[in-house]
């Protein structure tokens, strides 16, 4: 019974193996970025950017249909434009960045759905919004693998700069020339992972595998160096169990993965030693902070 449920689907079906590899790749690179988004208090910005890529992907769809290169280039361009535009609006107007991102998010979502509807069917619209992780081809897997590799390498190279920019950006600008580059590098990595995740989980679900494992990890540890790999590990486990649940119940795969991540978050919210609800019920030791 155990082998039939937890092992056999990935041995018997190639599409399940592809889905597993693709979702693992997205979790390994996206979840650590989610930790930085939480520390920067930009959690909702990740959701806004995930919808910001929709118009660009829709333009690519109108030009070339369900073409991986066209939709990737369009989504990447749209995401970067919205990120830069939101920053410019917050700098030159009284609106804060979260307000400008919310405005761009709403307009982008409506525009993207409208553009896809002009040419495509409801099936195409559902594919764009919710993805198809069990339909990943070689090109999509190469894209996900390339984005994961690039993200992990840049996180390792610029780790100290990213930490300093997260905790004290003014100090980083004073002591290093990377102070101006680091925020744009970080946003570019977020957009790149959202575009890659868009092909697997769609624009509505991609941010879930980035933010929920990161939020769960922050409830288990306060150490950033431990939270990053822990978030990736939680994302990988949630991807695996989400695929198992989807295969057993014939439910959509993307929402099943995000639901698994949601369960991990709620479990962490209760049992997490670094912020769980049960921690608040334990009596503190003498002189314990």
Residues 6+ apart with CB under 8 A from 138: none
Q: In whole angstroms, what is the distance from residue 16 CA to residue 8 CA?
A: 10
| pLDDT at position 122 | 65
| pLDDT at position 50 | 83
Asked whether the beta carbons of 34 and 214 are under 8 A apart, the reply is: yes
Q: In whole angstroms, what is the distance from residue 17 CA to residue 275 CA?
A: 35
| pLDDT at position 281 | 63
| pLDDT at position 136 | 87
Asked whether the beta carbons of 243 and 201 are under 8 A apart, the reply is: no
Where do the structural domains in the chain lie, given as residue ranges?
A: 2-269
pLDDT tens track, the chain, 289 positions? 778 889 999 999 999 999 999 999 999 999 999 999 999 888 877 878 888 888 888 888 888 877 888 888 998 898 888 888 877 776 677 777 667 777 887 888 888 888 878 776 666 667 777 777 888 888 889 999 999 999 999 999 999 999 999 888 888 888 887 777 888 899 889 989 998 888 888 777 888 999 999 999 999 999 999 999 999 999 999 999 999 999 999 888 888 999 999 999 999 999 999 888 887 666 555 555 4
| CATH class for the domain made up of 2-269 | mainly alpha
User: Is 94 exposed, middle or buried (CB count within 10 Å of its CB: 0-12, 13-18, 19+)?
Assistant: exposed
Which of 222, 223, 216, 220 is closest to 238 using CA atoms? 216
| pLDDT at position 94 | 76
| pLDDT at position 238 | 96
């Amino acid at each position: 019974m155990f082998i039939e449920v937890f092992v056999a689907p990935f041995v018997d079906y190639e599409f399940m193996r592809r889905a597993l590899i693709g979702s693992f790749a997205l979790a390994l690179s996206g979840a650590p970025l989610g930790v930085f988004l939480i520390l920067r208090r930009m959690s909702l910005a990740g959701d806004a950017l995930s919808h910001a890529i929709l118009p660009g992907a829709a333009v690519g769809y109108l030009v070339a249909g369900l073409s991986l290169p066209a939709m990737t280039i369009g989504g990447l361009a749209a995401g970067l434009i919205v990120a830069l535009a939101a920053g410019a609006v917050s700098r030159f107007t009284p609106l804060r960045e979260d307000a400008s991102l919310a405005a761009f998010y709403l307009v982008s979502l409506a525009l993207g759905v409208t553009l896809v509807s002009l040419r495509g069917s409801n099936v195409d619209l559902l594919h764009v919004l919710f993805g198809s992780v069990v339909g990943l081809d070689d090109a999509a897997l190469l894209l996900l693998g390339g984005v994961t590799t690039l993200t992990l390498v840049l996180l390792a190279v610029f780790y100290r700069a990213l930490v300093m920019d997260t905790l004290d950006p003014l100090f980083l600008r004073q002591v290093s020339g990377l102070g101006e580059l680091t925020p744009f590098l970080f946003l570019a990595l977020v957009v790149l992972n959202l575009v890659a995740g868009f092909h697997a989980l769609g624009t509505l679900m991609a941010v879930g595998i980035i933010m929920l494992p990161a939020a769960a990890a922050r409830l288990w540890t306060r150490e950033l160096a431990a939270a990053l790999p822990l978030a990736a590990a939680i994302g990988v486990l949630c991807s695996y169990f989400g695929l198992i649940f989807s295969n057993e119940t014939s439910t959509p795969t993307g929402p099943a993965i995000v639901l698994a991540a949601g369960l991990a978050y709620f479990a962490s919210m209760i049992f997490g030693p670094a912020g769980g609800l049960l921690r608040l019920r334990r009596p503190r030791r003498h002189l314990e902070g």
